[in-house]
């Protein structure tokens, strides 16, 4: 990777991936783009920024040519719960950004990374230690339909046109920089803000609901490790299961109580999110990622919890204001 384009740089992943890539590849070699110009200053940081609607193929192609881009990170997506409010919009945005990335990648000789998700699995998929290659009838959310489509289309572009497409199935991502928006796994981020601010949290996902989760530093490491992997070792491409920890609301609450013993957890279930969570795996088997490109997460539940409480606590102390929830 020499000249990298990041679409959706203002989102939960992009806001941390851009500085991470800039540290490795140099500020001027990582071009941040986002549809929102409002956050231009914070997104741009100390490197190039272009306002871009990824659905505008002409503008997208012009930026790829201008900066001689060789790698595209397509992070544009409406998440699972938001997608259910406007399925048509979710399809147009998620698939529009994907097809433009693949087509423009093909025309300009770029590698393309588009994240997939635990949402690419459906209610008929084996739930525990979900295998790498298994049934993927993810037809209960438009988000999942887009992810399965994205995996297939990305593999097609590799086999048919030789586009270097690679992807991981992200679990719920936990981070302290930018809040996720409208995902089913968001509770696992919100719980840290509420614990720090109020000492209590009302969870919209039921006790006993297990989902795979991952701390952002491991997610960033996964992306670069996969994109730098020797292609001759890759038997899979779109997309690799990656796992770091699996827990239910009670287990994350217990991990928080080791630091904040009086933390209280209650429940007010969101039926839409609960139905989505119930259709997703409890935990994925990530053996192929470990074998084919050396995936090895560093953070488990206790290590992630310790750091999240510390970082979110610092934010709270610094601002002196209530946290953004």
Binding site for ligand SER (CB under 6 A): 79-80, 117-119, 143, 170, 172, 183-185
Catalytic residue (choose from 20, 103, 143, 299): 143
Distances from the Cα of 212 to the Cα of 79, 118, 282, angstroms: 16, 8, 6
CB of 63 to ligand SER, least distance (A): 27
Q: How far apart are the C-alpha atoms of 57 and 249, rounded to whole Å?
A: 42
Scored b (16 or more CB within 10 A) or e, 78-92 reads: bbbbbbbeeeeebbe
Residue closer to ligand SER by CB (options 70, 84) is 84
Residues 6+ positions from 73 with CB-CB distance below 8 Å: 4, 5, 6, 7, 14, 17, 113, 223
Give the DSSP H or E segment for 240: strand 240-241
Q: How far apart are the C-alpha atoms of 296 and 8, rounded to whole Å?
A: 26
DSSP H stretches of helix in the chain? 14-25, 40-44, 57-66, 80-85, 87-108, 142-161, 187-198, 216-227, 249-257, 271-279, 287-293, 301-319
Residue closer to ligand SER by CB (options 105, 119) is 119
Residue closer to ligand SER by CB (options 1, 304) is 304
Residue closer to ligand SER by CB (options 143, 293) is 143
Residues 6+ positions from 211 with CB-CB distance below 8 Å: 118, 171, 172, 184, 185, 246, 247, 277, 280, 281, 282
DSSP H stretches of helix in 162-248? 187-198, 216-227
C-alpha triplet 268, 269, 273: angle, nearest 5°: 140
Residue closer to ligand SER by CB (options 150, 313) is 150
Residue with tokens 């996902």: 205
Q: Which residue is nearest to ligand SER (CB)?
A: 183
CB of 2 to ligand SER, least distance (A): 29
Residue closer to ligand SER by CB (options 100, 204) is 204
CB of 186 to ligand SER, least distance (A): 6
Active site residue 157: no
What positions carry a catalytic annotation? 143
């Amino acid at each position: 990777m020499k000249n990298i384009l990041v679409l959706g740089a203002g989102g939960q992943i992009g806001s941390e991936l851009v500085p991470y890539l800039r540290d490795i590849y140099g500020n001027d070699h990582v071009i941040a783009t986002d549809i929102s110009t409002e956050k231009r200053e914070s997104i741009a940081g100390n490197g190039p920024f272009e306002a871009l609607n990824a659905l505008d193929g002409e503008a997208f192609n012009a930026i790829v040519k201008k900066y001689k881009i060789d790698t595209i990170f397509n992070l544009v997506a409406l998440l699972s719960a938001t997608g259910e409010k406007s399925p048509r919009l979710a399809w147009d945005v998620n698939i529009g950004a994907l097809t433009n990335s693949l087509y423009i990648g093909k025309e300009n000789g770029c590698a393309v990374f588009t994240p997939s998700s635990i949402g690419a699995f459906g209610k008929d998929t084996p739930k525990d230690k979900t295998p790498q290659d298994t049934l993927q009838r993810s037809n209960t959310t438009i988000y999942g339909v887009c992810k399965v489509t994205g995996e297939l289309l990305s593999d097609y572009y590799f086999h048919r046109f030789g586009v270097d497409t690679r992807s991981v199935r992200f679990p719920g991502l936990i981070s302290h920089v930018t809040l996720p928006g409208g995902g089913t796994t968001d509770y696992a981020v919100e719980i840290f803000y509420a614990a720090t601010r109020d000492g209590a949290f009302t969870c919209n996902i039921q006790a006993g609901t297990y989902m795979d989760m991952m701390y952002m530093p491991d997610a960033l490491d996964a992306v670069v490790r996969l994109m730098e992997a020797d292609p001759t070792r890759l038997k899979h491409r779109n997309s690799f299961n990656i796992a770091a920890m699996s827990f239910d609301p009670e287990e994350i609450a217990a991990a928080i109580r080791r630091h904040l013993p009086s933390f209280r957890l209650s429940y007010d279930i969101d039926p839409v999110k609960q139905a989505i969570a119930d259709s997703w795996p409890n935990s994925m088997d990530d053996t192929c990622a470990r074998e084919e490109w050396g995936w090895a997460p560093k953070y488990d539940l206790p290590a992630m919890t310790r750091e999240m409480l510390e970082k979110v606590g610092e934010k709270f102390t610094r601002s002196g204001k209530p946290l953004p929830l």
